[in-house]
Amino acid sequence: MNKLAFIFPGQGAQYIGMGQDFYENIREAREVFDEANDVLNMDLSGLIFDGEEEDLKKTENTQPAILTTCIAILRALQKEGIDCDYTAGLSLGEYSSIVMSKAIEFSDALDLVRKRGRFMQEAVPQGIGGMAAILGLDRLNLPLVIEASKAYGIVEVANYNSPEQIVISGELKGIRIAGEKALELGARKVVELPVSAPFHTSLLSKAGERLSKEFEKVKINDLDKKVVSNVDGNVIANKDELVPKLVDQVSHSVLWQQSVEFMINQGVDTFVEIGPGKSLSGFVKRIGKHMNKKVQSLSISDLESYKNALSILKREA
């Protein structure tokens, strides 16, 4: 039995103009952008479509901007009767999955991710922390990379993205030493990421505590979709598990590779990335190849890719 998963990107995928063609052409998508403007009491759609990149890159703007774009595209898909068996999102993207599962209202999620962005940014002073992607490192050498950086600051694994890519996060000096060690041990490439905080490390545990208090103000419903969690690569069993996992996610590794492997093992053979960018589709292809499984990976970020994906999904339905 073929199964379908919707997957949602996280911070870093944003760009000026994302989702604009959906806003202009699909009523259900436009309503999502309009609702976001009202809830946040700001011209979020104006910032996304015509704003300055520097403003969009501010974490407390980026997070609601990506969430809104993902949900707008999702609503366009749902209007066509396309539904999924599983859903997962990378870091911030998990909130799109949660909204889709009806566990949290879109309006509540918008407020939460704006605060989440602010709390994450405020947890560590600017210029202290950072992140770097390591490509092509043998996983067996990972402990040696972390060990080499210990004397220079906290460095932890933030993301297990694919067999080819992990992301480390922590204090900048330690990150750079770890990067040098990774290259020495055979990594193909190390790329410092354009972020201003060490996401998904113990340095952000205070941000998680602050976020936990915000969740107390929000109504949590039962999930009506199988949402695969970042923190353990498993389906969130019930609404009682939801908040602890979203709070832990701020300061724990994102197990993206493990999440995709889990879904493939559950019979998912088609993944649809919904939102800006194509990174997750690339990860899915590499994970499927690594597992010797035939997996189809589609991405929808604009009207053209939307129409293309629709024709494939309707043909296969």
Structure tokens at 84: 């999924």
User: What domains appear along the chain, each with residue ranges and CATH number?
Assistant: 3-123+202-316 (3.40.366.10), 129-192 (3.30.70.250)
> Residue 1 pLDDT > 70, yes or no?
no
pLDDT at 301 over 60: yes
- Tokens of residue 102, six digits: 């009806």
pLDDT at 44 over 80: yes
Q: What is the mean pLDDT of residues 7-33?
A: 97
- When pLDDT is cut at 50, 70 and 90, the band that residue 311 belongs to is very high
Percent residues over pLDDT 90 in the chain: 93
Mean pLDDT, range 17-36, rounded to an integer: 98
- Average pLDDT of the chain? 96
312: CB partners within 8 A, 6+ apart: 296, 298
For 184-236, how does the pLDDT look when each residue is reduced to its tens digit (9 = 90+)? 999 999 999 877 789 999 999 999 999 999 999 999 999 999 999 999 999 99
Per DSSP, the three-state class of 16 is coil
Alpha-helix residue ranges (DSSP H) falling in the chain: 20-25, 27-40, 44-50, 53-56, 59-79, 93-100, 106-123, 142-149, 172-184, 205-215, 239-249, 256-265, 279-290, 303-316
| pLDDT on residue 196 | 75
Query: Which residues are catalytically annotated?
Result: 91, 200
Burial 194-203 (b: 16+ CB within 10 A, else e): ebbbbbbbeb
User: Using 50, 70 and 90 to split pLDDT, how confident is the model at 282?
Assistant: very high
Q: What is the mean pLDDT of residues 285-292?
A: 97
- pLDDT single digits (tens) 114-125: 999 999 989 988
Distance between CA atoms of 132 and 35, rounded to whole angstroms?
Answer: 35
User: pLDDT tens digits for 127-150?
Assistant: 899 999 999 999 999 999 999 999
Strands 165-171 and 155-162: antiparallel
Q: What is the pLDDT of residues 154-192, one digit of tens each?
A: 999 999 999 999 999 999 999 999 999 999 999 999 999
β-bridge partners, 191: 133
- Biggest CA pair distance of the chain: 56
pLDDT tens sequence across 245-256: 999 999 999 999
User: Which amino acid appears at position 96 of this protein?
Assistant: S
Q: Which residues contact 156 (CB under 8 A, 6 or more apart)?
A: 146, 168, 169, 170, 200, 201, 202, 253
What is the per-residue pLDDT for 316?
Answer: 83
Residue 41 has pLDDT above 60, yes or no: yes
* pLDDT score for 192: 92
Determine the straight-line distance between the first and last CA of the chain, rounded to whole angstroms: 11
Lowest-confidence range among 54-58, 75-79, 284-288? 54-58
- Residue 291 · residue 279 · CB < 8 Å: no
